[in-house]
Structure 1
Amino acid sequence: MATEAHGEETGLVFHPMDQFNVKPLFGDGAVHWYTPTNVTLWMAVTVLVIFLLLVVGTRGRAVIPTRVQSIAELAYGFVHKMVEDVTGKDGVKYFPYIMTLFMFIVFANFLGLIPMAFTTTSHIAVTAVLAMAVFLTVTVLGFVLNGTKFLGLFWVSSAPLPLRPVLALIEIISYFVRPVSHSIRLAGNMMAGHAVIKVFAGFAAIAAISPLSIAAITAMYGLEVLVSFIQAYVFTILTCVYLRDALHPSH
């Protein structure tokens, strides 16, 4: 109690992880699976912003594009080239799914940088669903397109015969770890950056170190803008790599 009182006097009582709490939009009751929460709200805002950009913003398409149309075209071309370069011509037909993933993640990340907003991609419950959707889609697609030949993904035929069973076990383990690493990487990076910003913001209340704290917040905010894009890119390009494995499973 004495520590808390001293902290309140110096302005150092802050909880960096409070910003990740899931809260109901209406009232203060328990959160059930059907309860509208701040996560629900900001995921809906993310979808709305994407709709406004890609549908409403490009409705009046012109040879000389508007700024909104230019952003939409840049995003489209960026993801399309990524899919084509990584998966080849065979993977372009799956471009809509990958484009949807990229746009949702990048806008969820950017919207989370708005003061008082909620970063939905900082929650493993959100990123795990995205990662499991990719994992199941790629796995099912691999067996549908290749049948049992898809198991060739785990058999390194170019390795010496005595090593192949060991490598096969390693490949199987690494394959099933994919959704774990895929989801934790995104959630962990988003959570860590926002928590650090909140820590620096807590020290900004102290006059003696306020200028240093504000400078640190500005630097971290700029870094988080970069990280928000990079993490969306990493999640998407790994999805393309996994898709390539499903389309061409042989080593």
Structure 2
Amino acid sequence: MATEAAGGHGEAETGLVFHPMDQFIVSPLFGDGPVGMFTITNVTLWMAITVLAVILLLVVGSSGRSIVPGRLQSVAELAYGFIYKMVEDVTGKEGVKYFPYIMTLFMFIVLANVLGLIPMAFTTTSHIAVTGILAMAVFLAVTILGFIKHGAHFLELFWVSSAPLALRPILAVIEVISYFVRPVSHSIRLAGNMMAGHAVIKVFAAFAAIAAISPLSVLAITAMYGLEILVAFIQAYVFTILTCVYLKDALHPHH
């Protein structure tokens, strides 16, 4: 019985065991103690690296501006023009004054997404705690801005004056609910997409250890990496353009 148990235990030890969600565990950077409010963690480290990457690209990359731009300056100018055009198209000229915040938001998210694809890195935007703070900051900012600029008239955002009078109260309730759900959908969309993609990559990476399916796994990982690079930019774009849409509602609340 003991021999059989030992044999079974040995098979369990040599079996294929992988945990694709382990890569999202928040752990202290120094020591093995519990994670507290002021504990420096792997999330803290990679958020700091992301901020430094943003500074390197936008500040250092454009510090030595020239008529013939270098690589960093070209990327910085491309990102600047892309986001500026987005803000202007969605919110109008009045929203351009809020461009620096939206530009910073986009660059932080896209670089956090891309840096998370580095092996052994931590994807900070896969955590709802991070994306939730970003989404809540946008929600509070546009709501406060709406009341500051329009006062009680900001509530006209929830009153669909173009609908039949009998339907307006029902639509108002739906509009209020959808408005307060915004930060939830705003944050979960980003975190969910980043977590799902990285989990799939980890699954394929685990199967790469099996000789029989290793070539297929490597091919699948390569394809998934290409897809995740695209998703990293798309999700940053979606988060940013939704921010612009919410800002437009604050600036022009009339239906």
Q: What is the TM-score normalised by the length of structure 1?
A: 0.97
Report sequence identity in percent.
Answer: 78
1:6 CA displacement: 3.4
Whether the 8 Å CA contact 1:4–1:13 is kept in 2: the answer is no
Measured against aligned partners, the alpha-carbon deviations of 1:159-192 in whole angstroms (never above 9, x if no partner) come to 0000000000000000000000000000000000
List gaps (5 residues or longer) in structure 2: none
Query: What pairs up with 1:192-231 in 2 under 5 angstroms?
Result: 192-231=196-235
Measured against aligned partners, the alpha-carbon deviations of 1:136-162 in whole angstroms (never above 9, x if no partner) come to 000000000011110000000000000
Aligned to 1:45, which of 46, 49, 53?
49
C-alpha change, 1:4 and 1:240, in structure 2 (3 Å) is farther
Number of the residue aligned with 2:142: 138
Runs of 4+ in structure 1 displaced over 6 angstroms? 1-4
Partner AA of 1:63 in structure 2: I
Aligned to 1:83, which of 81, 87, 111?
87
C-alpha change, 1:145 and 1:29, in structure 2 (3 Å) is same
C-alpha change, 1:37 and 1:132, in structure 2 (3 Å) is same
Aligned to 1:105, which of 98, 106, 109?
109
Partner AA of 1:15 in structure 2: H
Give the greater-gyration-radius structure (CA): 2
Number of the residue aligned with 1:168: 172
Measured against aligned partners, the alpha-carbon deviations of 1:196-250 in whole angstroms (never above 9, x if no partner) come to 0000000000000101111111111110000000000000000000000000000
Question: C-alpha separation between the residues in 1 aligned to 2:81 and 2:34?
Answer: 44
Partner AA of 2:187 in structure 1: S
Whether the 8 Å CA contact 1:24–1:35 is kept in 2: the answer is yes
1:110 CA displacement: 0.2
Whether the 8 Å CA contact 1:157–1:164 is kept in 2: the answer is yes
Number of residue pairs aligned between Structure 1 and Structure 2: 250
Measured against aligned partners, the alpha-carbon deviations of 1:58-115 in whole angstroms (never above 9, x if no partner) come to 1110011111100000000000000000000000000000001000000000000000
Q: What is the TM-score normalised by the length of structure 2?
A: 0.96
C-alpha change, 1:3 and 1:40, in structure 2 (3 Å) is farther
Partner AA of 1:198 in structure 2: K
List gaps (5 residues or longer) in structure 1: none
Structure 1 vs Structure 2 CA RMSD:
1.2
Question: C-alpha separation between the residues in 2 aligned to 1:154 and 1:109?
Answer: 34
Secondary structure at the aligned position of 1:103 is classed as helix
Question: C-alpha separation between the residues in 1 aligned to 2:9 and 2:217?
Answer: 22
C-alpha change, 1:164 and 1:8, in structure 2 (3 Å) is same
